[in-house]
């Protein structure tokens, strides 16, 4: 029978607490008794903790009381002024911290004086609760990532706080919520934490603010990070065959490492952070640097200028500079300078020097002059010039005639505007280059 009476009393107190909060949520806010309030009348002080915390110690005029598992405690007393002191519980889960935050009337003093009216007086006490956190990391496929690979982690709270720490040494505890007041009384408002960055090898491997968490006891945060595979292939720069023995990989933080290649001159690197890398092939020759931006599974093709390529380039240059004139002809020389290269097919021949204007050609003493000609040809001619030599002379005369012909003057009948600049045509002349 006594248990039923006790249960009914507890239910009545909870109901009275709700009615009192709805009617007047700050009954114990005054430090002085209201005018006309009787002093010494029978009264009850009902204290409710927000959130519900067991074992909170309440001292009223030196008498100690504790809250139950629902966070309630009913203290019999009398109306009038009293002194109250509230303390956090002596025992709580490992790593959890409990700190007094505020009373219903907004006063944040744990030790204060209150005024109690006759009857039931309801008061609320808010506490800030913090729990330790555990952070884990997983790749895009859900595979675990070692904490030692992560340099640092930065999170922001909805209260504007920022925490930067190593995953191996997180903060001792983070606040679960903050106590605010609404028309019904004190309520806990959960604090949201968002991941700003996760640094691996100098690169941020998360999208800032895309992952949010709340602090709960014995619950770990699993942060998904951006890690991708990178396949590297090395081939010859000119001929394209596989080549190379290793690749130098420069990380975003400036450090580098040498990655050996497999038998097929390729290698696949897994678990690389999302970043831009500098890749240089190593092998018999000169490796060409190539940047690679990794934002998804990717294949990087590297080029190596091998000694075979160097030999091929030198051979081609030698054939072009030396073999082509030998196979195609020679450079025609003239007295007074070197003309532009003229390629000939057949036997090379030096052209005779052109006589100056007005000069008289001397005839050999044993030659017989031909009547009617100013210049005598030799009487005895062994053979006529070859067909190729005749063609060379014809080509030379045509170019000489073109170079000596001045450009035609513009017609005088056409008016020339003073604003138009007269065009000067180039004149082609033989001789020195």
The mean pLDDT of 206-215, rounded to a whole number, is 93
Chain CA centroid to CA 319, Å: 48
Which of these ranges, 1-5, 35-39, 250-254, 327-331, has the smallest mean pLDDT? 1-5
Q: Please give the helix or strand (H or E) that residue 367 lies within, else none.
A: none
pLDDT at residue 95 is higher than 90: no
Residues with Cβ within 8 Å of residue 406, at least 6 apart in sequence: 427
Which has the closest alpha carbon to 30: 77, 97, 66, 84?
A: 84
pLDDT at 416 over 60: no
Both structure tokens of 23: 């009617």
172-176, 341-345, 390-394: which is most confident = 172-176
Token pair 């496929």: residue: 141
Residue 217: pLDDT above 90? no
Given a contact cutoff of 8 angstroms between Cβ atoms, the answer to whether 392 and 351 are in contact is: yes
Average pLDDT over residues 229-258: 91
pLDDT of residue 415: 55
Mean pLDDT of the chain: 77
Which residues have CB under 8 Å from 409's CB, separation 6+? none
What's the whole-number mean pLDDT along residues 33-39? 59
196 φ, ψ (degrees, to nearest 5): -90, -45
- Greater model confidence, 63 or 401: 63
pLDDT per residue as tens digits for the range 156-197: 999 999 999 998 888 889 999 999 999 889 999 999 999 999
Reported as a single tens digit per residue, the pLDDT across 221-231 is 999 999 999 99
SS3 53: coil
3-state secondary structure 258-276: EEECCCCCEEEEEEEECEE
Mean pLDDT score, 46-56: 93
| 426 vs 152: CA distance, rounded Å | 73
- Write 423-432 long-range contacts (CB < 8 A, 24+): 427/403, 428/399, 428/402, 428/403, 429/403, 430/334, 430/339, 430/399, 430/400, 430/403, 431/334, 431/336, 431/337, 432/336, 432/337, 432/338
State the number of CA atoms in the 13 A half-sphere of 422 facing the CB.
Answer: 7
Q: Could you tell me the pLDDT band of residue 98, with boundaries at 50, 70 and 90?
A: very high
Report, at the CATH architecture level, how domain 2-127 is classified. Answer: Sandwich (2.60)
Which pLDDT value is given to residue 422? 57
pLDDT at 263: 87
pTM: 0.62
Residue-level pLDDT at 30: 46
What pLDDT, on a 0 to 100 scale, did the predictor assign at position 40? Answer: 79
Per residue in 309-344, is it b (16+ CB within 10 Å) or e — as a string? Answer: beeeeeeeeeeeeeeeeeeeeeebebeeeebeeeeb
Query: CA–CA separation, 183 vs 158, rounded Å?
Result: 22
Using pLDDT thresholds of 50, 70 and 90, give the confidence band for residue 51: very high
Write down the pLDDT at residue 233: 93
Nearest-angstrom CA–CA distance, 43 and 433 = 123
379 or 38, which is more confident?
A: 38
Q: Is the per-residue pLDDT at 402 higher than 70?
A: no
> What value, to the nearest 5°, has the Cα angle with vertex 146 and ends 145 and 152?
95
pLDDT, one tens digit per residue, over 264-282 is: 889 999 989 989 999 999 9
Res 374 pLDDT > 50? no
Give residue 35's pLDDT band: very low, low, confident or very high (50, 70, 90).
Answer: low
Picking from 167, 160, 233, the residue whose alpha carbon sits closest to that of residue 197 is: 167
pLDDT digits (tens, 9 = 90+) for 115-141: 999 999 999 999 999 999 999 999 888
Name the pLDDT band for 215 (thresholds 50, 70, 90): very high
CATH number of 227-308: 2.60.40.10
């Amino acid at each position: 029978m006594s248990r039923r009476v006790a249960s009914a009393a507890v239910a009545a107190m909870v109901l009275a607490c709700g009615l009192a909060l709805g009617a007047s949520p700050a009954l114990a806010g005054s430090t002085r008794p209201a005018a006309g309030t009787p002093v010494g009348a029978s009264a009850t002080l009902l204290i409710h903790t927000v959130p519900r915390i067991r074992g909170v110690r309440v001292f009223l005029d030196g008498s100690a009381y504790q809250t139950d598992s629902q966070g309630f405690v009913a203290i019999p007393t009398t109306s009038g002024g009293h002194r109250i002191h509230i303390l956090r519980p002596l025992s709580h889960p490992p790593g959890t911290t409990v700190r007094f935050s505020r009373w219903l009337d907004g006063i944040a003093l744990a030790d204060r004086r209150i005024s109690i009216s006759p009857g039931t007086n309801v008061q609320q006490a808010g506490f800030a609760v913090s729990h330790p956190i555990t952070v884990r990391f997983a790749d895009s496929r859900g595979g675990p990532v070692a904490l030692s690979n992560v340099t640092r982690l930065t999170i922001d709270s909805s209260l504007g706080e920022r925490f930067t720490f190593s995953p191996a040494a997180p903060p001792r505890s983070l606040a679960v919520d903050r106590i605010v007041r609404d028309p019904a009384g004190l309520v806990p408002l959960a604090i949201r934490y968002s991941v700003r960055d996760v640094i691996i090898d100098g690169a941020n491997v998360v999208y800032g603010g895309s992952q949010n968490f709340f602090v709960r006891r014995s619950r770990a945060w699993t942060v998904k990070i951006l890690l991708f595979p990178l396949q590297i292939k090395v081939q010859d720069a000119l001929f394209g065959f596989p080549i190379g023995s290793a690749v130098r990989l420069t990380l975003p933080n400036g450090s580098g490492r040498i990655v050996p290649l497999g038998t097929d001159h390729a290698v696949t690197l897994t678990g690389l952070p999302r970043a831009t890398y500098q890749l240089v092939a190593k092998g018999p020759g000169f490796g060409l640097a190539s940047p690679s931006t990794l934002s998804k599974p990717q294949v990087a093709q590297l080029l190596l200028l091998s000694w075979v390529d160097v030999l091929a380039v030198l051979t081609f240059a030698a054939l072009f500079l030396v073999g082509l004139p030998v196979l195609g002809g020679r450079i025609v020389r003239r007295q007074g300078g070197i003309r532009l290269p003229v390629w000939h097919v057949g036997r090379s021949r030096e052209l005779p020097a052109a006589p100056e204007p007005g000069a008289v050609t001397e005839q050999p003493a044993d030659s017989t002059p031909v009547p009617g000609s100013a210049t005598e040809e030799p009487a005895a001619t062994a053979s006529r010039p070859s067909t190729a030599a005749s063609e060379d002379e014809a080509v030379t005369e045509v170019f000489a005639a073109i170079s000596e012909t001045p450009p035609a003057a513009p017609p005088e009948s056409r008016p020339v505007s003073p604003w138009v600049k007269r065009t000067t045509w180039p004149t082609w002349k033989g001789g020195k280059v």
